[in-house]
Chains A and B, each alone.
Chain A
Amino acid sequence: MVPELGHLALILALLIALVQAVFPLAGSLSGNRPWMAMARPLAYGQLTMIAIAFAALTQAFLTSDFSVLYVAENSNSLLPTIYKFSAVWGGHEGSLLLWVLFMACWGAAVAALSRNLPLTVMSRVISVQGMITVGFLLFMLLTSNPFERLFPVPQEGRDLNPLLQDPGLAIHPPMLYMGYVGFSVAFAFALAALIGGRLDAAWARWSRPWTTVAWIFLTIGIMLGSWWSYYELGWGGWWFWDPVENASLMPWLVGTALIHSLAVTEKRGAFKSWTVLLAICAFSLSLLGTFLVRSGVLTSVHAFATDPARGMFILLFLCVVVGGSLALYAWRAPEVSEGGRFDLLSRETSLLANNLLFVAFTVLVLFGTLAPLIYEAFDWGKISVGFPWFNKMFLALAPFMAILLGVGPAVRWKHDEPMRLLRTLWWALALSILVLAVSYLPAFSSGHLWVPVGLALAAWLVLAHVAVVLERLKNKGGLARMGPALLADLRGGGRSFYGMVIAHLGVAVFVVGVTMVSNFQHEEDVRLSPNASYELAGYRFEFLGAEAVPGPNYMAQRGHFKVYRGDRQIANLFPEKRAYLGGGMPMTEAAIDPGLFRDVYVSMGEAVGDKGDWAVRLYYKPFVRWIWLGAILMALGGVVTVSDPRYRMARAPARRPATSSAGGTSAATA
């Protein structure tokens, strides 16, 4: 009964989405206010229906209702409760439901938080979101209904994919989806602006907080994915340039470009049509990512539930959404004035260069991801665009990004003098060169050329930002009163500035992590007998043997390692090899002794011979945590930026007298 209720709620949600897609938009074009006023209640109704459907599916999982096909395929009565819950989005149908749930959340949030938006804009945004929701709900109801029943009812479910039975992966997809779907808001704002022909600073100001919030979620989502593959897959890597990873990286890259481009559009009114294009692309790449993961066009370790019929539907949907919006762009964008002239040396130029680098990198990633398909299509023979290729491309662009990232925030809008810039940054430059020279010494770099480059770039990022902050505080109240000036700044409109600084420092931390781990890591495949030891990078790993340990829904072989540094024991590690009762590949649970400056990491290979020997993989990973720490700082910077009073979800536009309290009677009109 409950599953049928969920199914019904989905059908009602589709009807609501259809109304939502048509009436508010039509109303905004014909000036029909009642139709426009429908937008808000429709958005709330949409959320209600989808929340009901989601609750119904969750209930089916928690009660192990195997009469529902999707539950029978993705759960098991032995599954721990927490994973029964996360199993709701562990397969194709459920992750789509999660996707539309988030879509509805974002829609309702726009409806609730945009009281000061002109009604025409708000109704167009909600309508565009409705159109996207129609597509996804149709997709679910026609090809991927999560509430489909199964008869006869099996006694037991097939179990959740063991790879997904992990806390990291329980929250990774929701974060990623929040990010993907969040870009639909920026997309909807861009389309609304194109429809209305009004691309101005106000539009950029409204889009900015939404875009940043979506970007924060995506950043955290990607970080969690990277962290998860590091500890769960047992290969010791943190990024594999796998098609699915690339699918999440591309919207992030374009989203990052978009955040910066929006800044220019808001502050200087320049780059308008470019910003719109980026907003369209960020969401289109999110959809493309979904397509690549779901259709089986590219095979990947992550791809689950691939089905050509579904792929065809998503592709059609992709063509309608992306093709339609790009056609609208081609039609309306030429009328947009470019506005805001600027000189060669200006903040605008540096942000333009930032955008070009990010877009260039996105294009390379897109090409690399699709290369097997492209080469096959044109019969150019086989190509292996793999790990080394992507790394090369990344290394070719990253240094320029980093250098620019130090200069950009120091340059003034519109026009700047080279000498003034040099006065601000000279000592940062000098110290960075010093870092380059010192870390170039063989004693430090051990001959790895990238070590000095990476460390100097990181130093440059940090020092240049210190210089910029110092200059800002000097202008605010002199160096003597720096503390009070900083506090006042943080209370006032300075938060978006400090948010930017934090995010950029995150990049520096990330660069240090990548540089150190890529150049100084050690790993070794060894065969160890019980009580044998092996020394790696100054750590001695003593293998005490492995024993069988039963888990709730698996049988594990658990190894025991003692790790010594010199004579001191620093860790007991218990890596596992798990065979899940539901079948499938055995899983490796690596054991990691984490640290801010190094991880020591052991993963079990397989038992060898009959004397209790094991093939194991030992790793020493210096500074690997800094990679994720950097990503967390970037996200934190985003949070600080969004908290800037200027962006209180556009509650109080600057031009209006400050009468906006919690009253909320301000029904803004166009």
Chain B
Amino acid sequence: MAMSKSVRYLIPLVVFAALAGLLVWGLGQDPREVPSPLIGKPVPTFSLPTLEDPNRAFTDADLRGKVSLVNVWASWCSACRAEHQSLMALSEMPGFQLIGLNWKDDAADAKQVLAISGDPYTMVGYDPDNKVGIDWGVYGAPETFVVDRQGIIRYKQIGPIDRKAWEEKLQPLLEKLNAEG
């Protein structure tokens, strides 16, 4: 009886130890630099309807032959809205196609955002049920994948494309991919 009573007072310590273990583990993972297992691999095959036209298919074949930026976004995602203006600027640039992947979203909401704020994308795949998102290992929106002409994923940007990410990571990589020919 006395024994079980003392043990009871150990519970908080044990719970904390478990929590601390989790945090130690979590610290080893840098959420901004999660190495996607897909980097260096071809994009998984998929087929999705496009946002504009449910009857038109958007497949992995659309990502071949051109350097692509595939931007995962949703109308409910505030960081995506912040990113939207940079995307509008990017859409004017030569050398790559900007593809949208509308993720876990409602088609009407998504279309409204594009209608109001402008549509930077060459094409938008519509993935309300996270079908493609799971295969691609999407953690959250916004995320942007860089896909080369052979359809191989070369880089994944987690979080919005801000000036720093663009200047330090994306722009040099895109130049390199275009130079590869």
A residues touching B (Cβ–Cβ < 8 Å)?
Answer: 233, 235, 273, 277, 280-281, 284, 291, 295-299, 301, 308, 311-312, 315, 318-319, 322-323, 326-327, 329-330, 333-334, 370, 373-374, 376-377, 382, 384, 525-527, 583-586, 605-606, 608-609, 615
Q: Contact at A525–B113, with CB atoms within 8 Å?
A: yes
How many angstroms from the CA of A541 to the CA of B34 in the assembled complex? 45
- Chain B CB within 10 Å — which of A318, A526, A606 has the most? A606
A277 to chain B, nearest CB (A): 6
Given contacts A298-B31, A326-B16, A583-B163, are A608 and B116 in contact (CB under 8 A)? Answer: yes
The docked-state distance in angstroms from the alpha carbon of A273 to that of B159 is 45
Q: A residues within 8 A CB of B163?
A: 583-584
A424 to B162, CA, bound (A): 62
B82: nearest chain-A partner, CB-CB: A585
Given A277-B12, A297-B27, A330-B10, verify A374-B78 contact (CB < 8 Å): no
Contact indicator A315/B20 (Cβ below 8 Å): yes
- A273 touching B78, Cβ below 8 Å: no
Secondary structure at the B interface, as helix, strand, loop or mixed, is helix
| B23 and A323 contacting across the interface, CB-CB below 8 Å | no
Judge whether A291 and B23 touch: CB under 8 Å: yes
CB nearest to A577 among chain B residues: B85
| Contact flag A605-B23 (CB < 8 Å), given A327-B13, A329-B13 | no
Which residues from 64 to 89 on chain B have a C-beta closer than 8 Å to any C-beta of chain A?
Answer: 78-79, 81-82, 84-85, 88
Is there contact, CB below 8 Å, between A605 and B116?
Answer: yes
CB-based contact A297/B23 at 8 Å: yes
Which among A233, A301, A384, A606 is the interface contact of B84 at CB below 8 angstroms? Answer: A606
Query: A334 with B23: in contact, given A296-B30, A299-B159 (CB under 8 Å)?
Result: no
Q: How far is the CB of B131 from chain A (nearest CB, A)?
A: 13
Chain B residue nearest to A333 (CB atoms) is B9
Report, nearest first, the 5 A-B pairs whose CB atoms are least far apart. A326-B13, A615-B116, A297-B26, A527-B116, A330-B9
Q: Contact at B9–A374, with CB atoms within 8 Å? A: no
Interface membership of B22, Cβ < 8 A: yes
- State which of B12, B16, B117 has its C-beta within 8 Å of the C-beta of A608: B117
User: Judging by beta carbons under 8 Å apart, are B30 and A308 in contact?
Assistant: yes
Q: Contact: B22 with A373, CB < 8 Å?
A: yes
Q: How far is the CA of A277 from the CA of B159 in the complex (A)?
A: 39
* B-side contacts of A318, CB under 8 Å: 20, 23
Within the complex, what minimum Cβ distance (angstroms) separates A296 from chain B?
Answer: 7
Could you say which residues of chain A place their CB within 8 Å of the CB of B24? Answer: 315
- Whether B9 contacts A322 by the Cβ 8 Å rule is no
- Contact assessment for B116 and A525 in the assembled complex, using a CB-CB cutoff below 8 Å: yes
| Segment 30-63 of B: residues with Cβ below 8 Å from A | 30-32
Contact between A376 and B29, CB atoms less than 8 A apart? yes
CB distance from B69 to the nearest CB of A (A): 19
State whether A330 touches B116 (Cβ < 8 A). no
Given the interface pairs A370-B22, A605-B117, A615-B116, the reply to whether A585 lies near B81 with Cβ below 8 Å is: no
The total of interchain contacts (Cβ-Cβ below 8 angstroms) comes to 99
Q: How many residues of B contact A (CB 8 A)?
A: 41
Shortest A629–chain B CB gap in Å is 26
B6: CB under 8 A from chain A?
A: yes
Q: Which residues of A contact B140 (CB under 8 A)?
A: 384
Q: How far is the CA of A393 from the CA of B168 in the complex (A)?
A: 42
In the docked arrangement, what's the CA distance between A409 and B118, Å?
A: 57
Q: Is B176 an interface residue (CB 8 A)?
A: no
Among residues of B, the one whose C-beta sits closest to the C-beta of A284 is B16
CB contact between B16 and one of A323, A373, A376, A585 (< 8 Å): that residue:
A323
Q: List 21 A-B contacts (CB under 8 A).
A: A280-B12, A291-B23, A296-B31, A308-B30, A318-B23, A323-B16, A323-B17, A323-B20, A326-B13, A329-B9, A329-B12, A333-B9, A334-B8, A370-B22, A373-B25, A374-B22, A376-B26, A377-B26, A382-B134, A526-B116, A527-B116
Please give, as numbers and ranges, the residues of chain A lying within 8 Å of B112 by CB-CB distance.
525
Across-interface contacts of B31 in A (CB, < 8 A): 296-299
Give the docked Cα–Cα distance between A297 and B176 (Å): 32
Closest Cβ of chain A: how far from B38's Cβ, in Å?
A: 15
CA distance A323 to B6 in the complex (A): 17
B contact residues around A376 at 8 Å (CB): 26, 29
Q: Which residues of A contact B117 (CB under 8 A)?
A: 605-606, 608, 615
Given contacts A297-B23, A334-B5, A525-B116, 7 further A-B contacts (CB under 8 A): A284-B16, A301-B78, A315-B27, A329-B12, A583-B163, A585-B82, A585-B160
Shortest CB–CB separation between residue A366 and chain B, in angstroms?
8
CB–CB A377/B12 < 8 A? no
- Complex Cα distance, B164 from A583, in Å, reads 10
A539 CA to B20 CA, complexed, in Å: 52
The chain B residue with its CB closest to the CB of A297 is B26
Query: Which of A277, A291, A323, A373: most chain B Cβ within 10 A?
Result: A373
Complex contact B9–A319 (CB within 8 A): no
Q: Is the pair A373, B26 in contact by a Cβ cutoff of 8 Å?
A: yes
Question: Least Cβ distance of B119 to chain A in Å?
Answer: 11
Minimal beta-carbon separation of B95 from chain A (angstroms): 24
A319-B20, A377-B22, A525-B113 given as contacts; is B9 within 8 A of A273 (CB)?
yes
